[in-house]
Structure 1
Amino acid sequence: MMAVPTPTDHDRAALDTQAHDWLVRLTSGRATTGDAQDFRRWCARSPQHAQAMAEATRLWDLTRPAAKAVAQRMPAMDVPPRAAIAVSRPPAFGRRQFLGAALAAGAAGFLVVRPPAGLWPGLSDMTADYRTGTGEQRRVVLTDAAAVVEMNTQTSLNLARGAEGEPPVLDMLGGEAQVLLDAARRTPFTMTVGGARLVAAAASRFNVRATGGEVCVTCFAGSVELRDGERVLVAGEAQQIRYGGRREAEVARAPDLATVGAWRERVLVFDDTPLAAVVDEINRYRPGRLIVTRAELGQRKVQARLRLDELPHVETLIAVSYGAKLTSLPAGIVLLG
């Protein structure tokens, strides 16, 4: 029986460096389908490769307990803070260790499909018909659907072709987009998001945002129907429909149309918004991740108008404005305490 070669310290250090390089690339906001395929091939090269990647990705798990403000949706782990920077070395591979590495390889493949904390695009996002990366915006003209779709950051859409003579259906996997329908449309426009169906008439304009398991549909003009089973809700101009997660679907007046659509002008508007919610929104537009580590800091209210080109160094602005202490970690993770 052929023995599995034992990696030297030099080999292990090189694999650790390569694993961290992969994390940086995958969290850069510019990862492509090709990157995902190359990543999977790299992990499959040997058990040592898979183990190095599995150990490196623990960095995100180790930073989660520090972020009490977002810990409700992240599992806690009792690990010393210094371990967030260290990468443990894989031992010589006996039978049991080899099986563990095989599981690690499977876990590494899973990271492509469902990344930790959404730090890079999942496989379904990378293979979507239309996709925007972190901080990217895009305008798509759907000729067959007689619609224009303006896509915000981290948005993925698929266009499902219907049977002959039937209009296509737009499926939003996640993100945010504004849909403008041609006044000459002869049939309603249909879009699926969050497990429900949206139907809009010709000349309608509406904004759809699907993040964190919740969906918010804001109607700017015309009307939008939410069809969820036998239930139908209708939003007219300046009204919103919210649903998903633990929220019961409801129609309400939109708080401020200019604020909802400000992203189209590459601006974010916050009006008496808790800092924790502001940071969650900022994270959608910049590589890496900002994490608020003190609950009281996350509850501070923010009144601000930020241009997207200000976000790469927004942590400095937060530190100056709110006295937050900054701790920088690899792959663009910054703790705000």
Structure 2
Amino acid sequence: MTNVDPQLQARRDDIDARARQWLAHIYSGEITEQERAGFQDWLAASSEHRAAFQSLNELWTSLDRVPHIEDEPADPAARVPADAAKPARWREVLHRASSLRMAAGLIVAVTAVVALATLQMRSRAEQHLFTTQIGEIRELDLTDGSKLVLRADSAISSSMSSDERNVTIERGGAYFDVSRDETRPFVVSAGDIDVRVHGTAFDVLKGPSSVTVSVTHGHVTVSDLTKPRSVQLTGGQQLTVLANGEFGAVVEFDSQRVLGWREGRFSYRNARLEDIVADVNRYRIKKIVIEDEALADLRITTMFRAENVDQMLAGIAATEPVTIVHSAAAISIRRREQP
């Protein structure tokens, strides 16, 4: 018998539960455009998310093989058209399939699965989706007593039950002040990275090509579930895990500098230009674009406020081999041509 790592199994169970929640919500007729965008972010966050939803979604896809039933795309990312959320669509399908016992049976089966999933999730865990707009920083209180500050242009989902507390960062990041509960671990997932605690305070940022965890007090366990590998962090320590699973060195950090984003202040030391641009773009409608991929890894040390981005860019142009080009659509960072 193959032994499955308990952390890996817990992650799989959480993904399956989240897939059931999305399926039930999508066909409930109550999904909003904002939640629809959150679903797309959840699918894109991990191939495991997509596979779990696809597996559960096959019951609905099987309706395609019944005569006179409207065709639906098999791709789960495409299975969220506006009309799919309308109760009228269910009435139409039921009417057209009224003379087809097989179709009726399949519809009843799918409806039962969705209803059962919804009932199970309501009894097992309380689910929430939180988002922020461009430039918006939002303070939140979770039902377990934990508090968090959500970064601008971010999205997280939470699941609170009597056994565990789970938060998934779909986009962006947040600062967490976790209420201590030795009986229920608090787990923050960002891609393949899990941060597990019982009660402490820390910051998690899901960047373009890495996840950074900064602990202000207490201790946390950072795990890459694809390896598996874990690292313990205590207050004042920071760790960055690259998209390929490579763990960086554990370093000391200045909490005032790293967490300044909560007051609109940004400070970077030897940071990648791509990560700086991603942070800044959370506050801008007119985006900054790095046109030369080789510039993404350019290391920059800088400090500025959110309203002083133009000055920051001018400083980079003065000290690095780049040119800043303003247009109506965007601000482009290009490699400076040699004279």
Q: TM-score, normalised by structure 2?
A: 0.53
Q: How far apart are the structure 2 equivalents of 1:321 and 1:248?
A: 28
1:232 counterpart (230, 233, 258): 230
Q: Per-residue displacement from partner, 1:107-131 (whole Å, max 9, x unpaired)?
A: x979x9xxxxxxxxxxxxxx97101
SS at 2:246's partner residue? strand
Answer yes or no: is 1:171 the counterpart of 2:173. no
User: What is the Cα deviation at residue 329 of structure 1?
Assistant: 3.5
Q: How far apart are the structure 2 equivalents of 1:299 and 1:213?
A: 11
Q: Quick check: 2:211–2:242 contact (8 Å CA) kept in 1? A: yes
Q: Corresponding residue for 1:191?
A: 188
SS at 1:166's partner residue? coil
Question: How much identity, in percent, do the aligned residues show?
Answer: 19
Q: Structure 1: give runs of 5+ residues left out of the alignment.
A: 1-31, 38-105, 113-126
Q: Quick check: 2:143–2:160 contact (8 Å CA) kept in 1? A: no
Q: Per-residue displacement from partner, 1:127-151 (whole Å, max 9, x unpaired)?
A: 971011221110110023x210111
Q: Which amino acid aligns with 1:133?
A: Q
2:286 counterpart (285, 288, 293): 288
Q: Which amino acid aligns with 2:154?
A: T
Q: Corresponding residue for 1:259?
A: 257
Q: Per-residue displacement from partner, 1:226-270 (whole Å, max 9, x unpaired)?
A: 234453321111112322412423550234322211101210113
User: What is the Cα deviation at residue 183 of structure 1?
Assistant: 4.5
Answer yes or no: is 1:200 the counterpart of 2:208. no
RMSD over aligned Cα atoms: 3.8
Q: Residue 304 and residue 209 in structure 1: after superposition, are their counterparts in 2 closer, same or farther (change >3 A)?
A: same
Q: How far apart are the structure 2 equivalents of 1:282 and 1:147?
A: 27
Q: How far apart are the structure 1 equivalents of 2:273 and 2:165?
A: 40
User: What is the Cα deviation at residue 304 of structure 1?
Assistant: 3.6
Q: Corresponding residue for 2:140?
A: 140
SS at 2:279's partner residue? helix
Q: Which amino acid aligns with 1:248?
A: E
Q: Corresponding residue for 1:155?
A: 154
Q: Corresponding residue for 1:305?
A: 303
More helix by share: 2
Q: Residue 308 and residue 135 in structure 1: after superposition, are their counterparts in 2 closer, same or farther (change >3 A)?
A: same
Q: Quick check: 1:219–1:240 contact (8 Å CA) kept in 2? A: yes
Q: Corresponding residue for 1:209?
A: 205
Q: Corresponding residue for 2:100?
A: none
Moved more, 180-189 or 233-242: 180-189
Q: How far apart are the structure 2 equivalents of 1:227 and 1:300?
A: 28
User: What is the Cα deviation at residue 186 of structure 1?
Assistant: 5.1
Q: How far apart are the structure 1 equivalents of 2:155 and 2:35?
A: 16
Q: Corresponding residue for 2:23?
A: none
Q: Corresponding residue for 1:50?
A: none
Q: Structure 2: give runs of 5+ residues left out of the alignment.
A: 1-30, 37-74, 82-126, 335-339
Q: Residue 228 and residue 290 in structure 1: after superposition, are their counterparts in 2 closer, same or farther (change >3 A)?
A: closer
Q: Which structure 2 residues correspond to residues 31-110 of structure 1 after superposition, within 5 A?
A: 34=33
Q: How far apart are the structure 1 equivalents of 2:138 and 2:244?
A: 31
Q: How far apart are the structure 2 equivalents of 1:271 and 1:284?
A: 19
Q: How far apart are the structure 2 equivalents of 1:220 and 1:259?
A: 12
Q: Residue 301 and residue 33 in structure 1: after superposition, are their counterparts in 2 closer, same or farther (change >3 A)?
A: same
User: What is the Cα deviation at residue 321 of structure 1?
Assistant: 6.9
Q: Per-residue displacement from partner, 1:49-87 (whole Å, max 9, x unpaired)?
A: xxxxxxxxxxxxxxxxxxxxxxxxxxxxxxxxxxxxxxx
- If asked which structure has higher relative contact order (CA below 8 Å, sep 6+), I would say 1
Q: Which amino acid aligns with 1:205?
A: A
User: What is the Cα deviation at residue 160 of structure 1?
Assistant: 2.0
Q: How far apart are the structure 1 equivalents of 2:181 and 2:33?
A: 39
SS at 1:281's partner residue? helix
Q: How far apart are the structure 1 equivalents of 2:230 and 2:209?
A: 20
Q: Residue 201 and residue 250 in structure 1: after superposition, are their counterparts in 2 closer, same or farther (change >3 A)?
A: farther
